[in-house]
Structure 1
Amino acid sequence: MRRSVALRLSAVAGVAGVAGAIALGLPQQEASAAAGGVTGYATQNGGTTGGAGGATVRASTGTQIHAALCNRAATSTPIIIEVQGTINHGNTTKVSGSSCNTAADVIELKSISNVTIVGVGSGATFDQLGIHIRDSSNIIIQNVTVKNVKKSGSPLSNGGDAIGMESTVRNVWVDHATLEASGGESAGFDGLFDMKNDVEYVTLSYSILRNSGRGGLVGSSETDTGNNFLTFHHNRYENIDSRTPLLRGATAHMYNNHYFNLRESGINSRAGAKAKVDNNYFEDSKDVLGTFYTDAAGYWQVSGNVFDNVTWSAPGTDNKPAGPNVTSNTTVSIPYAFSLDGASCVPALVAATAGANKGLAVSNGSCSATAGPTGGPSTSPSTSAGPSTPASPSPSASQPSGANLSIGAGADGSSKASGTSYGNVKDGSLSTIWSPNGATGDISIKWSAATRVAKINIREASGSSIGSYQVLNGATGAVLASGTGGGVISFPATSTTKITFKITASSGTPKIAEFETYAS
């Protein structure tokens, strides 16, 4: 039901205040490809790494993007394509080769794997030209704008979707993208983010979808129910008629999204689909969740959502809105780790992080924005057990000499379990700990001025479980070392303002008592 005007204005004023606080801390930086930071269902089925480990090439035309794909040794050879400038019909032609299957007037990722397309520099815009993925796997699309792609009218584009996936597609991560139209179907536009005919393990994160009749569909008809395992988080859906998304048969997780001015309907779960809908903010919209335009029922599990000036239709044969008293009618089990921001801060947080050219800013899991992710993907399931009181760990047999540079420094991280603190890893005490909110996460030591670091000592508490890790130069994102477990880790001496220890996989809950840093 609609809240009182006074209450709603108070909430908006509070959100605006948070937005100002968040915006002050955002870094200004050129985006770069990030194989790490992958979240949601894209972490499953072996994970999504895109072109990590392959050559990096630059492209300023669609033809150059196609040439980069075609110049690889094989269809699966990893490649990172950094894109800058405007890609349009005039500079996108078909290129032939044994490692590609391209087409003119569309970016065609067909029958290939292990590719990252990332906008860099002043940005990458795909103007009236879509990105379409067919029979492909392990694809990352990051930090790009795709706008005004039509299925009819002039100019034409293949299918009319801004980003479309079809026909046996696996493991796709679309992140920090801006997808927009300037009208609905009658104006020649179709979906902004469509999946059909066997698409699985997809995450859409920190993106903006706006000014369209259709946000996106999953399944082209009531019988196309083989698409599955989808995550949508920290996105903003704005000025859209319907399909945010339309789900047919799929299991999908929607959390921490901001839905604004959905004019006809929102999350449309039908034909047996199951939607887990957590801590989202729905604002100035109609029928934001339910089964619409069909008698083939879908289902939902809800928690922590805010419904701000949302109106609901009366139920009928082909319309079964979830509200106004929104309750769950199914349960959905999620296999991966995730951190929920409180719904009340979602509008400000999403405004600060979502979309292209935001420096790949992300949430730190506590309603604040932080620098973009680096490192390897997380594929471990979440763990709900909180940290126990730690016993003192045994010091490493190869304890470094010299001063522990962490004492007196700062600390931050990606998440923290209840009862733990970032500062606990630099207080010189083995009886206090930091633990991530799940099986993976990162913790950093930082200084106000550049500091030489060549060795760290990760001192785990009793019962800790650290699987694989990466040590990063937190100022640049460069990987300094990688391995498994804790203890003393050496790497080439680096002058930096921040060192990050990133846990990328664990079989249980990591518990770090001290994160010591040394100059030699």
Structure 2
Amino acid sequence: MALAATMGLTALWMADAQAATGSATGFATQNGGTTGGAGGQTVRATTGTQIHQALCSRASSNTPIIIEVEGTINHGNTSKVSGSSCNTAADVIELKEISNVTLVGVGRGALFDQLGIHLRSAENIIIQNVHVRNVKKSGSPTSNGGDAIGMENNVSNVWVDHVTLEASGGESEGYDALFDIKANTKYVTLSYSILRNSGRGGLVGSSDTDTNNGPITFHHNLYENIDSRAPLLRAGTAHTYNNHFRQINSSGINSRVGARVKVDNNYFEDSKDVLGTFYTDKAGYWQVSGNIFDNVTWSSRSSDHNPAGPNPTSTTTVAIPYAYALDNASCVPSIVAATAGANKGLRVSDGSCTPQTPAPTGPPSGTNLSIGAGSDGSSKASGTSYGDVRDGDTSTYWSPSGSTGRISIKWGSGTTVSRINIVEAAGAVGNIGSWRVVNHDTGAVLASGSGAGVISFPATTLSKINFEILGSSGTPRVAEFETYAG
């Protein structure tokens, strides 16, 4: 499978079975979406230095790249690498002043041992299926200020998925936080992950004046044996749903300084003060629904300690702009146990309380619902037709009259769709850049990304579905717009 080698990196043209799977969820789908290195070269790295070499060997700092990581990344094999397309540092995985990168664990797994992952002035980043443990800010060795994953200074559109983040104690043992966001970091999702055995889970905003962060989504995560900050929110908007909080020792979701958080269908267990405003008199707010509080204790209120319980009620409303499927809170412990963390097979939930295997990346099977349907679009180039995208013939195609445009499939009645396949015409493969899939009936964005191929999203019943091409590297030519129920 190896076709070329550059600077110790093996180029892979066939994706590993555990390579990045699925599409971003939550707030990471907004602001143009989060696609990481989709469409770029795939390379394999077994050391931290090779990760940095992969970044530095790109044509530019925004050239898409997928870095597949296998093995243990530690201080002994992570050196600074220089180049015009990177800005790295020794003893930390540095994603700095770059964009369009996917970092994904494959094969036997990727363990970042005592070594943190740092994002700074970066955008459109995916981190998936990695294990980060025991990152210290004091003692020896130190890395990334003691954070397992940290983001700061103008970071946007980040999806962190199926990761395991853990420490072996709190600040007195040399550790800081597992997942920190600060200094203008926006549109982030943390999903299907484990955060455990730490004094601090993480924060959004480093101080009461660092208030320009978020929005952020936390879903299907396990917070276990965490003292506080699960998470700490200073200003901004957050959505936390279908998370399992177990053994939160001092305080959990700490909404302060005007923060607003929607708390949906979570399971809180054997914990203390899991929601409220703590250690300050600068109030935050919450909207609660469908949560289960199992053996949760609540402290008395004071001027700087305002727990939401013992009977939490909403103090605000939070509008959520994306579609999401809620599992019932009663099954959250089992569904999170089956799906969250690295090396779990990247399984997810569709809201049915049953783990789902990742959707295959090849062409869908079943009936192509576009055959016999109708179609239209925003414009069409001379000699092309809207109907050519649903005729089963890849030698005919539709093109917009410019470099962007919309093509739609429509039915006379409600039709359930969960996958589409965009097939480009011969001679135009790779021309489609960024896109989004829209439920024409409601205007809801079902998925966003870049590059043609199979696109999956929660099953949706609609009468018309739009594929909107937002950017291209050449004239887009859509040979087929296939739609499938599953």
Measured against the shorter chain, the TM-score band is 0.7 to 0.9
Structure 2 equivalent of residue 147 of structure 1? 133
Structure 2 equivalent of residue 424 of structure 1? none
Specify the code of the residue in structure 1 equivalent to 2:113: D
Out of 451, 456, 473, which is 1:502 matched to?
456
Shift of 1:346: 0.5
1:31 equivalent to 2:18? Answer: yes
Shift of 1:366: 1.1
C-alpha change, 1:104 and 1:365, in structure 2 (3 Å) is same
Contact 1:467 1:503 in 2 (8 A): no
Specify the code of the residue in structure 2 equivalent to 1:173: W
Distance between the aligned counterparts of 2:34 and 2:108, measured in 1?
Answer: 26
1:442 equivalent to 2:428? Answer: no
Cα shift readout 1:371-394 (whole Å, capped 9, x = no counterpart): 125779xxxxxxxxxxxxxxx967
Shift of 1:91: 0.3
Shift of 1:507: 12
Distance between the aligned counterparts of 1:184 and 1:154, measured in 2?
Answer: 15
Structure 2 equivalent of residue 225 of structure 1? 211
Shift of 1:33: 1.6
Contact 1:287 1:321 in 2 (8 A): yes
1:357 equivalent to 2:350? Answer: no
Report how many residues are paired: 395
Distance between the aligned counterparts of 1:195 and 1:400, measured in 2?
Answer: 47
Structure 2 equivalent of residue 206 of structure 1? 192
C-alpha change, 1:165 and 1:505, in structure 2 (3 Å) is farther
Cα shift readout 1:233-291 (whole Å, capped 9, x = no counterpart): 00000000000000000200000000000000000000000010000000000000000
Gaps of 5+ in 2: 1-15, 363-371, 376-386, 394-410, 422-439, 466-481
TM-score normalized by structure 2? Answer: 0.75
Specify the code of the residue in structure 2 equivalent to 1:435: T
C-alpha change, 1:510 and 1:290, in structure 2 (3 Å) is farther
Shift of 1:198: 0.6
Shift of 1:433: 6.1
Specify the code of the residue in structure 2 equivalent to 1:77: T
Specify the code of the residue in structure 2 equivalent to 1:243: R
Distance between the aligned counterparts of 2:446 and 2:316, measured in 1?
Answer: 36
C-alpha change, 1:393 and 1:107, in structure 2 (3 Å) is closer
Distance between the aligned counterparts of 1:293 and 1:469, measured in 2?
Answer: 39
Out of 237, 241, 248, which is 1:262 matched to?
248
Out of 199, 202, 206, which is 1:216 matched to?
202
Secondary structure at 1:358's aligned position in 2? coil
1:103-502 to 2 correspondence within 5 Å? 103-373=89-359, 435=416, 441-442=418-419, 482=453, 502=456
Cα shift readout 1:462-519 (whole Å, capped 9, x = no counterpart): x97899999xxxxxxxx9x74xxxxxxxxxxxxxxxxx773699996658xx9789xx
1:6-17 to 2 correspondence within 5 Å? none
Distance between the aligned counterparts of 2:446 and 2:233, measured in 1?
Answer: 36
Structure having greater relative contact order (Cα 8 Å, sep ≥ 6): 1
Shift of 1:193: 0.1
Distance between the aligned counterparts of 1:233 and 1:107, measured in 2?
Answer: 25
Contact 1:342 1:367 in 2 (8 A): yes
Shift of 1:400: 7.0
Secondary structure at 1:228's aligned position in 2? coil
Contact 1:137 1:169 in 2 (8 A): yes
Cα shift readout 1:385-417 (whole Å, capped 9, x = no counterpart): xxxxxxx9679997779xxxxxxxxxxxxxxxx
Specify the code of the residue in structure 2 equivalent to 1:359: G
Structure 2 equivalent of residue 386 of structure 1? none
C-alpha change, 1:311 and 1:247, in structure 2 (3 Å) is same
Distance between the aligned counterparts of 2:484 and 2:25, measured in 1?
Answer: 28
Secondary structure at 1:174's aligned position in 2? strand
Contact 1:149 1:162 in 2 (8 A): yes
Distance between the aligned counterparts of 2:444 and 2:293, measured in 1?
Answer: 40
Secondary structure at 1:159's aligned position in 2? helix
Gaps of 5+ in 1: 1-28, 377-391, 402-429, 445-462, 471-478, 483-499
1:65 equivalent to 2:51? Answer: yes
Contact 1:466 1:505 in 2 (8 A): no
Secondary structure at 1:350's aligned position in 2? helix
Distance between the aligned counterparts of 2:262 and 2:445, measured in 1?
Answer: 29
TM-score normalized by structure 1? Answer: 0.71
1:84-99 to 2 correspondence within 5 Å? 84-99=70-85
Contact 2:416 2:459 in 1 (8 A): no
Contact 2:325 2:458 in 1 (8 A): no
Shift of 1:72: 0.7
Contact 1:31 1:120 in 2 (8 A): yes
Contact 2:119 2:152 in 1 (8 A): yes
Secondary structure at 2:157's aligned position in 1? strand
Q: Which moved more, 1:36-45 or 1:349-358?
A: 36-45
Distance between the aligned counterparts of 1:51 and 1:515, measured in 2?
Answer: 25
- Percent identity over the alignment is 67
Distance between the aligned counterparts of 1:80 and 1:87, measured in 2?
Answer: 17
Specify the code of the residue in structure 2 equivalent to 1:312: W
